[in-house]
Structure 1
Amino acid sequence: MPIRQQPRRTARILALLSLTQVRGNAEKIEQLEINDLLLGAIRSLTTEVENALETAADELNRSNEQVFRSETRTTNVGSAKEMLKDAIALTQKAINRLGNVLELPEFVQLSQQAQVREYAIELITTVNRRQGEINQMLDDVMIDWKLNRLSLIDSNILRIAVAEMAFLQIEPKVAINEAVEIAKTYSDDDGFRFINGVLRKISDQLTK
């Protein structure tokens, strides 16, 4: 059963997951209700589950093909095992994402919905309005890496945290800690470490 979360944590999660689903100008976004945000978040997570399962199925098929061709080649057996391991990991990721889909409505129900809606919309509108500046700030600190090479989840976790630090007067330590905690649930295994490092560089620049 989900534990009660602070309204702003829930708002950050809703903003993160519904960011790519929300369309329109600032005025239209400000008219969205909590259920609109929740629907966008669920659609986003559902798409991720479907993609992860599709990729896992492809890996499983490839590993099966390797097994059938491996009667005389031990190297093929090793390759098939690796593919099977990847397929299992991807399936587990999909199951975890599905759990997030099922828990999200209860998270919102347990939180103070008016505050969740207000802050989620503030985050979405700030990221949309300031996206050029936010993207540039991130690209400037990511050595040998670019924002457009990251997964959509990771890039949006970063954008939301930078929006908070640079434009919404949220203390950098709070914004970074929240981004890392959310990344532990919604990013890949090592994503939260990368996000932590990038945001600390942003924080250093903002406090100079």
Structure 2
Amino acid sequence: MYSNRSLSRELSLISLGLIKDKGNFKLNNFQIEEIVESALDSLINHCRDELDNCELDLEDASQKILESELQEGVDSSFSNVRDQLKKSLKKIETVMNTLSVSLDFPKLIVSSGQIDIREDVNQRISNIINNLNSIDSNIDEAMDGWRLQRLPRIDRDILRLAYVDINYLNTPIAVACDEAVNLANKYSDTQGRKFINGVLRRLQTVKLP
């Protein structure tokens, strides 16, 4: 199930992508709210695109099942199609969980059950934009000769969110790293995921007192 904290991290990541990552600027609460609303729209649209892709995968798998049933000696072929169908169904389940929470978010934001998501997103974004130079400097210390600014924007923001989790929100390091890896698996590429994993392991050495 898509947890509230996981959703708030993903919304924070999308929101950060809508903000310039330069120091010495401030955003008021109203501006942050507008950015979060745009991020929510982006997440919903992303989920709908994923659902469309899942539908195409299912249609393709169903067609192959029909074709295999008309052939003789299709045990191995049918097994492959069955595996493909299982993967598609699993993907649909994940996307549906995300979409369900996201679509309910605007309606439930005023309720006690969902207000924590908005507050959590605002807190994460505020911590980053108000302490950007310090956060980036400390992450640089864990980058073993590299600099954060050389990474793609999405990878920078994933690391920043992990750093805020560990050093500002008192999230257990293992949880913060797992969540960052999940975001990297969804939004980064293979090289970015490997690099993020390495930096996360070293982030523990720059944890603020």
Corresponding residue to 1:109 among 100, 103, 106: 103
Q: In the TM superposition, what is the alpha-carbon distance from 1:141 to its structure 2 partner?
A: 1.6
Q: 1:190 aligns to what SS in structure 2? A: helix
Q: Tell me, yes or no, if structure 1 residue 191 matches structure 2 residue 185.
A: no
Higher RCO, Cα 8 Å, sep 6+: 2
Residue equivalent to 2:40: 38
Q: Which runs of 5+ in 1 are unaligned?
A: 46-99
- Whole-Å separation in 2 of the counterparts to 1:20 and 1:33: 10
- Whole-Å separation in 2 of the counterparts to 1:132 and 1:141: 15
Is the CA contact (8 Å cut-off) linking 1:139 and 1:146 kept in structure 2?
A: yes
Per the normalisation by structure 2, the TM-score is 0.61
With over 3 angstroms needed to count, the CA separation of the structure-2 counterparts of 1:192 and 1:27, relative to structure 1, is: same
Q: 2:190 aligns to what SS in structure 1? A: coil
Identity %: 29
- Whole-Å separation in 1 of the counterparts to 2:206 and 2:196: 16
Residue equivalent to 2:158: 157
- Whole-Å separation in 2 of the counterparts to 1:15 and 1:186: 13
- Between the two proteins, the alignment pairs up a number of residues equal to 152
Per the normalisation by structure 1, the TM-score is 0.61
Q: In the TM superposition, what is the alpha-carbon distance from 1:172 to its structure 2 partner?
A: 1.2
C-alpha distance after superposition, 1:86-120 (max 9, x if no partner):
xxxxxxxxxxxxxx8x9965441367542222211
C-alpha distance after superposition, 1:171-197 (max 9, x if no partner):
111111100111001100232221121
Residue equivalent to 2:175: 174
Residue equivalent to 1:140: 141
Q: Which runs of 5+ in 2 are unaligned?
A: 21-25, 47-94, 106-112
With over 3 angstroms needed to count, the CA separation of the structure-2 counterparts of 1:207 and 1:147, relative to structure 1, is: closer
After TM superposition, the runs of 4+ consecutive aligned structure 1 residues lying more than 4 A away are 29-34, 40-43, 102-105
